[in-house]
Amino acid sequence: MSAAVRRSFHSLSVPNYRRYFVGQVVSLSGNWMQTVAAVWLILSLTGSGVAVGLTTALQFLPMLLFGAWGGLLADRFPKRRLLMVTQALMALPAIGLFAVTEAGIVAPWMVYLAVLAMGAVNAVDNPTRQSFAIEMVGPDRVVNAVSLNSVVVQSARIVGPAIGGLLIAAFGVGPCFGVNALTFAAMIVALWRMDPAQLRAAPTSGREPGAIRAGLRYVRRTPALAVPLALMALVGTFGFNFQVVLPLLARFSFDGGAGAYAVLVSAMGVGSVAGALVTGARGRTGPRLIAAAALAFGVSALLAAAMPALALEIPVLALLGAAAVTFAAGINSTLQLAVEPAMRGRVMALYSVVFLGSTPIGGPLTGWLSEAYDPRVALLLAAIAGLSAAWAAHVTLVRIAATSADGPICRPGVDKSARRRVVAGR
C-alpha cells in the first residue's frame, strides 16, 4: 500500500473511528435507499413534481428551523450516548413507512409526516455527528476524518440508490424502508462497542439561559468561524442544489431519461469520492485550500453549464464533485479546529444549517430558474457563487491568517507551529 493511500485512510487506525466508519457506511447507504424509495413512492401516489419538491423540502426544513437547538443538545450531553438515541429514533419513521406500505394503506400525508419526523431527528443527529469526529480522532487527524466521512457520504449516495432501485424493481418500495430501519442497528452497535476511555470528550455545557444566543455571539465575534460559515452559506444556498439540477439537466438539456440521470449522479459521486480521498491524504486545511476549492468549483460549474453533449458533461461533473467535497471538507475541518470544545456542537450545527438547511431556500430557486429558463442557468448561478466565495476566501481568510499571531484556528491544546502549518495549508 502506497504512502498516499495510507495517509488517505489514516484515521482508520483509531479503533473507535474504525467502528464508527463501518456503522456509517451501512447506515447512510440505508438512508439514501429510503430517500429514493420515498421520492418514488410519493411520485407514484401523486404524479406531481411539486409533491416531490415538497418531500425534499420537508426533509431539510427542520435543520433550517431547529438545527441550532440540535447543536445545543450536542454540547449539553455526551455525544456518543446522544447519537445512540438519535439513531434509534430515526429507525421509527422507517418502520412506520414499511408497515403502512406493506399493508397497502399508505397515503401522501403519511410519507410527508415520516420524512418530516426523520428530518427533525436529523436536526440533532447531524450536528452531533459533525462535532463527534474530533473527539474520536483528535485535532491531528480531524481533517482526514472529515474527508473520510465525505467518502462515506458520497459512496452511500451511489450504493444506496443502486440497491434501492434493485429492491424497488424486484419487490416494490416497502422493503427499502424495512432494510433502512435495520441499518440503524449497525450504527448503534458501532457506538455501543466504542471504548469511551479513548474518546477526547469535550466538557458538557450547563443549562444557562441564552445558550444559543451565546453561540451566535461567539461566532459573530470570531472571524475564523464567521467567515467560513458565510462562505458555506453562499455556496450551499446557490451552488449545492444538485439533487434539483441533475435530473433537469439530464431530461431537458440532454433529452435523456433515467439512465442519463444515473450517469450524471454517478459521475459527481465518483469525483466526490476521489476529491475526499485526496483531501484526506493531504491531511491539512487552510484559507488557500478553501479559496482554491471554491475557485475550482466555480470554474467547473461554468464549464458544466457550457458542455454541449452528455459525454463531455460527465468528466466536468466529476471535477465539480471533487471541488465541491474539497470545499465542504475544508470548511468543516477549519471550523472543527478553530472552535472552543464547549461550543463545538453549536458551531457545527450552524455548519449543518448552512450546508443542509439552505436546501429549502436554494432548491426552489434553482428549480424555478431551471423551469423558467434552462437548467444551465442554475449551473451559472452555482458558478457565480463559487467564484464569489473564492474571492472572499482569498481576501478575508488569508488576511485573518496574516494578521493573527496564532492564525485563525487558535485554541488551547494545539501546538502553535502545527496551527500555522494548517493555516498556511502547507
> Given 3-state DSSP classes, what are the helix, strand and coil percentages for the chain, each rounded to the nearest 5?
85, 0, 15
Q: What is the pLDDT of residue 409?
A: 42
Q: What 3-state class would DSSP assign to 313?
A: helix
Report yes or no on 201 lying in a domain.
Answer: no
Q: What is the pLDDT of residue 425?
A: 43
Q: What is the DSSP letter of 203?
A: P
pLDDT digits (tens, 9 = 90+) for 314-323: 999 999 999 9
Radius of gyration in angstroms for the set of CA atoms belonging to the chain, rounded to a whole number = 21
Least confident of 16-30, 117-131, 243-257: 243-257
Least confident of 88-102, 134-148, 359-373, 409-423: 409-423
Q: How many residues does the chain have?
A: 426
The C-alpha atoms of residue 375 and residue 379 are separated, in whole angstroms, by 7
For the segment 198-214, the average pLDDT, to the nearest whole number, is 76
Total domains in the chain come to 1
- Please determine, for residue 424, whether its predicted confidence score (pLDDT) is greater than 60: no
Report yes or no on 204 lying in a domain.
Answer: no
- Please determine, for residue 24, whether its predicted confidence score (pLDDT) is greater than 60: yes
Read off the pTM.
0.75
> Is residue 408 very low, low, confident or very high in pLDDT (cuts 50, 70, 90)?
very low
Higher pLDDT, 341 or 311: 311
> Is residue 415 very low, low, confident or very high in pLDDT (cuts 50, 70, 90)?
very low
Q: 108-137 vs 79-103: helix axis angle to the nearest 10?
A: 160
Neighbouring CB atoms inside 10 A of 364's CB total 16
Higher pLDDT, 120 or 288: 120
Percentage of residues of the chain with pLDDT beyond 70: 87
Higher pLDDT, 2 or 326: 326
What residue numbers bound the domain in which 240 lies? 3-192+211-424
- Please determine, for residue 421, whether its predicted confidence score (pLDDT) is greater than 50: no
pLDDT digits (tens, 9 = 90+) for 63-93: 888 888 888 898 888 999 999 999 999 999 9
Q: Which of 260-264, 305-309, 336-340 has the highest mean pLDDT?
A: 305-309
Cell numbers that stand for 166 in this block: 434493485
Of 320, 324, 362, 339, the closest CA to residue 412 belongs to: 339
Average pLDDT over the chain reads 82
For the segment 133-158, the average pLDDT, to the nearest whole number, is 80
Report yes or no on 39 lying in a domain.
Answer: yes
Report yes or no on 197 lying in a domain.
Answer: no
Give the CATH number of the domain where residue 401 resides.
1.20.1250.20
Residue 72's H or E segment, with its range, is: helix 49-76
Of 247, 259, 224, 261, the closest CA to residue 336 belongs to: 224
> Is residue 357 very low, low, confident or very high in pLDDT (cuts 50, 70, 90)?
low
Of 424, 159, 195, the closest CA to residue 290 belongs to: 424
Least confident of 224-228, 230-234, 335-339, 380-384: 335-339
